[in-house]
Structure formats: structure tokens, C-alpha cells
Amino acid sequence: MEQFLAIVKETVNPATQPVGVNLVKDPAIVGDLKIKVRNKRLAVCQQIAYSRMYAWSTWADAGTSHCAIGAACTGLISPPRRILDGTVNTGVYQENKPAAAAMQQAMPRVKPGVAGVLTYPLARPFAGITPDLVVLYVNTAQAMRFVQAFLYHSGGEFVMKSSGDAGVCSRAIAQVALTGEPTIEIPCMGDRRFAVAQDHELMVGIPYQWLERTAAGLSATHKAGIRYPVPFQIPAECELPPDYVTSEQDMGTNE
């Protein structure tokens, strides 16, 4: 993880910290951990926000995961009927109940049985705990660099899916956990309103087993000259108004 963090810092340098995420099956694993934020009702996106912005660790279980959609996506609860049948989205994200149900039924969800969601800055992991996956928030140019890293070894194309809702919990966490493949997703309304996601941000979800491969792809493409920030071409003798241009007469002026 140290190598991954070092290469991400060198090649991409996101504004907030990469976050380690564990979908914990056995709550005894976290029993003695010194977790900064626990026993508070938080949405999954808020857990990520605490870890990426403040470097705080968080824990939420079925009793404290405040957003039912996020809790269902991460396996903390069975999806309630009002979610699966589209009631929660009807007239909001979709025009009718069948359309809302279709969206919800396509949303990635981890099977119920997860005891809690543990988040922490990847630079400060808990001893003996390896993250299931890593979540980063980046701008669009940085997201491009991750796509290039993901495709460096095998080529092909990177496919991004989105529901326009439940971004980090359904795609950056649940989809990564289910498929073992990285994702890029758009933050949802809740993430923006309650977890401080910014207009320019996208999220990247990376399974733990992809960290070394991703770091290698970032490093290789960086060495090949694909850099972030992307260097602009700054022309010599740019077109200035004549009076702005330094002339030969100006060279001899000392006043």
C-alpha cells in the first residue's frame, strides 16, 4: 500500500486522501480498534468523507447506517420493499414506479450479512487489517489517468456504469466488491449535499488486488510522458497587442 500511495501522490496527487474500505463480516475484528467515529448515524458517503477529508476512521453497522439505500448496497440490511419496488424513486428520479423499480433492480448490492462498514485513510491502516477496496475522489483529468493505468496491461476499453444515485455505496463499493474490477462513478445527490462531494469530482473504486497493477500502470504511463497536471503548450511570441510587445527601443530604456 505504501508503494501505491507514493505513486498516486507522484502521478495523480488527489486533493483528498485515498480511503480504505472493509465490509466486515465479523464485528469482533473491530472490537478493540480505536475508531474515531462510531455510534453515530452516518450514511456511507459521510463515512468516506470523514476518512478522505479529515483522516478519521469510521464504523457503521445496521443500527447506525443512516441511509437505507447505502446500507442495502453495502450488505448491512436486506433491501426494504420500498427500495426494490421503486417507491423511493418514483416521481423523483423516475417518472413512474416500474421505471424506478427497474433502476433499483439494476443497482449493485452486496448480499446481506455484512456486520459493518469500516473506513480509514489508506495511509493510516489498522494493524492486521487489509482493505477490501480503496476509494478515491478525483477530478476528470485524474480519472483519465486512472483509466489509462487500468488499461495499461490489457488494453481494451473501460466501461463506466451509473444510476445517477447511490454513487459511492453502489458503484465504488458494492460493484467493486462484487466484480473484483475497478470502477469510476459520479457522486450522487446525497454525497454532494451531506458528504461535501464537489462539482468537479468523480470517484474511483479499486479492489485491493488491483492496487499493485494500478500503481504499475500509473508509473509506466507517467514515465512515458503522460503527466498530470497536463502540461499546456505555451507558445513563444504569443500574439499581444503591439504596445505590449517588448521592442528593441525598450531594451535601452533604464528609466
The string of pLDDT tens digits covering residues 78-127 is 999 999 999 999 999 999 999 999 999 999 999 999 999 999 999 999 99
**DSSP category for residue 32:** T
Q: What is the CA radius of gyration of the chain?
A: 22
Mean pLDDT of 139-161: 98
Residue 135: which of 61, 191, 189, 71 has the closest Cα?
191
Nine cell digits for residue 230:
497536463
Average pLDDT over all residues of the chain: 96
Residue 43: which of 192, 184, 199, 175 has the closest Cα?
192
Q: How far is CA 22 from CA 135, 201, 229, in A?
A: 11, 23, 31
State pTM to two decimals. Answer: 0.93
Distance between CA atoms of residues 163 and 145, nearest Å: 23
pLDDT score of 165 more than 80: yes
Half-sphere exposure of 74 (CA within 13 A, CB side): 34
Beta strands in the chain (DSSP E): 19-24, 58-61, 116-121, 133-138, 183-185, 202-207
Per-residue pLDDT tens over the stretch 196-215: 999 999 999 999 999 999 99
Count other C-beta atoms under 10 Å from residue 89's C-beta: 24
pLDDT value, residue 13: 98
Q: How confident is the model at residue 35 (pLDDT cuts 50, 70, 90)?
A: very high
